[in-house]
Structure 1
Amino acid sequence: MSDPTPTTTDVLVVGAGPAGAAAAAWVARAGLDVVLADAAVFPRDKTCGDGLTPRAISELERLGLRDWVRAHTVNHGLRAHGFGQTLHLPWPGGGLPDWGSAVPRTELDDHLRTLALKSGAVGLDGARAVDVRMDGDRVAAVVFKVSTAPGGGAGATSELREVACRHLVVADGVRSPLGKLLGREWHRDTVYGVAGRTYVTSTRADDPWISSHLELRGEDDEILSGYGWVFPLGAGSGEVNLGAGTLATAKRPADVAIKPLMKVYADRLREEFGLGAELRAPASALLPMGGAVSNVAGRNWALIGDAAACVNPLNGEGIDYGLETGRVVAELLADATGRADDLDLGTVWPDLLREHYGESFSIARRLAGLVTVPRLLPALGPVGMRSDLLMTLALRWMGNLVTDSDRDRAARVWRWAGKASLARDARPPFS
Structure 2
Amino acid sequence: MIDILVAGGGPAGLVAAIRAAADGREAVVVEPRTAPVDKACGEGIMPGGVAALRALGVMVPGSALRGIRYIDGARRAEASFRGAPGLGVRRTALHEALYRRALELGVRIVAGRVGEVRQGLDSVGAAGLTARWLIAADGLHSPVRRTLGLDRPASAPHRYGLRRHYRVAPWTDFVEVHWSRRCEAYVTSVGERLVGVAVLSGERRSHAEHLSAFPALADALRYAEEGPVRGAGPLRQSARSPRAGRVLLVGDAAGYVDALTGEGIALAAATASAAVDCLTAGRPEAYPAHWRRLTRRHRLLTQGLLSAARHPFAARLIVPAAHRLPAVFEAAVHALR
TM-score by length of 2: 0.90
Equivalent residues in 2 for 1:6-21, closer than 5 Å:
8-21=1-14
Q: 1:374 and 1:72, CA in 2 relative to 1: closer, same or farther beyond 3 A? A: closer
Distance in structure 1 (CA, Å) of the matches to 2:86 and 2:164? 20
Is the Cα contact below 8 Å between 1:28 and 1:119 reproduced in 2? Answer: yes
Aligned match of 1:228: 185
Greater shift in the superposed pair: 261-270 or 19-28 = 261-270
Deviation at 1:30, TM superposition (A): 0.7
Structure 1 unaligned residues grouped into runs of 5+: 1-7, 144-161, 217-222, 247-253, 337-342, 402-431
Aligned match of 1:361: 299
Aligned match of 2:314: 376
* Percent of residue pairs identical: 23
Aligned match of 1:280: 227
Q: 1:270 and 1:317, CA in 2 relative to 1: closer, same or farther beyond 3 A? A: same
The superposition leaves residues 209-239 of structure 1 with CA deviations (integer Å, 9 ceiling, x where unpaired) of: 22111x22xxxxxx12x4211101121xx21
Letter in 2 for 1:140: V
In the alignment, does 2:207 pair up with 1:259? yes
Aligned match of 2:115: 130
Distance in structure 2 (CA, Å) of the matches to 1:283 and 1:303? 25
Deviation at 1:266, TM superposition (A): 7.3
Is the Cα contact below 8 Å between 1:244 and 1:261 reproduced in 2? Answer: no
Is the Cα contact below 8 Å between 2:250 and 2:271 reproduced in 1? Answer: yes
Aligned match of 2:71: 81
Distance in structure 1 (CA, Å) of the matches to 2:216 and 2:298? 34
> Which structure would you say has the larger RCO, counting Cα contacts within 8 Å and 6 or more residues apart?
2
Aligned match of 1:243: 198
Q: From the CA coordinates, give the structure whose radius of gyration is larger.
A: 1
Deviation at 1:364, TM superposition (A): 3.5
Residue among 20, 40, 63 paired with 1:27: 20
Paired residues, number: 337
Distance in structure 1 (CA, Å) of the matches to 2:297 and 2:211? 36
Alignment partner of 2:104: what SS? helix
Aligned match of 2:326: 388
Structure 2 unaligned residues grouped into runs of 5+: none
Equivalent residues in 2 for 1:131-280, closer than 5 Å:
131-135=116-120, 140-143=124-127, 162-190=128-156, 193-204=159-170, 207-213=172-178, 215-216=179-180, 223-224=181-182, 226-235=183-192, 238-246=193-201, 254-264=202-212, 268-272=216-220, 276-280=223-227
Residue among 78, 84, 87 paired with 1:101: 87
Is the Cα contact below 8 Å between 2:243 and 2:288 reproduced in 1? Answer: yes
Alignment partner of 2:302: what SS? helix
Letter in 2 for 1:321: L
Q: 1:139 and 1:311, CA in 2 relative to 1: closer, same or farther beyond 3 A? A: farther
Deviation at 1:356, TM superposition (A): 2.4
Distance in structure 2 (CA, Å) of the matches to 1:378 and 1:311? 21
Is the Cα contact below 8 Å between 1:83 and 1:381 reproduced in 2? Answer: no
Alignment partner of 1:128: what SS? coil
Letter in 2 for 1:244: V
Distance in structure 1 (CA, Å) of the matches to 2:55 and 2:253? 23
TM-score by length of 1: 0.71
Distance in structure 1 (CA, Å) of the matches to 2:238 and 2:312? 23
Alignment partner of 2:261: what SS? coil
Distance in structure 1 (CA, Å) of the matches to 2:93 and 2:273? 21
Q: 1:276 and 1:210, CA in 2 relative to 1: closer, same or farther beyond 3 A? A: farther
Deviation at 1:358, TM superposition (A): 3.1
Q: 1:36 and 1:333, CA in 2 relative to 1: closer, same or farther beyond 3 A? A: same
Aligned match of 1:51: 44
Distance in structure 2 (CA, Å) of the matches to 1:208 and 1:128? 39
Is the Cα contact below 8 Å between 2:190 and 2:196 reproduced in 1? Answer: yes
Deviation at 1:23, TM superposition (A): 0.5
Aligned match of 2:35: 42
Aligned match of 1:149: none
Letter in 2 for 1:239: L
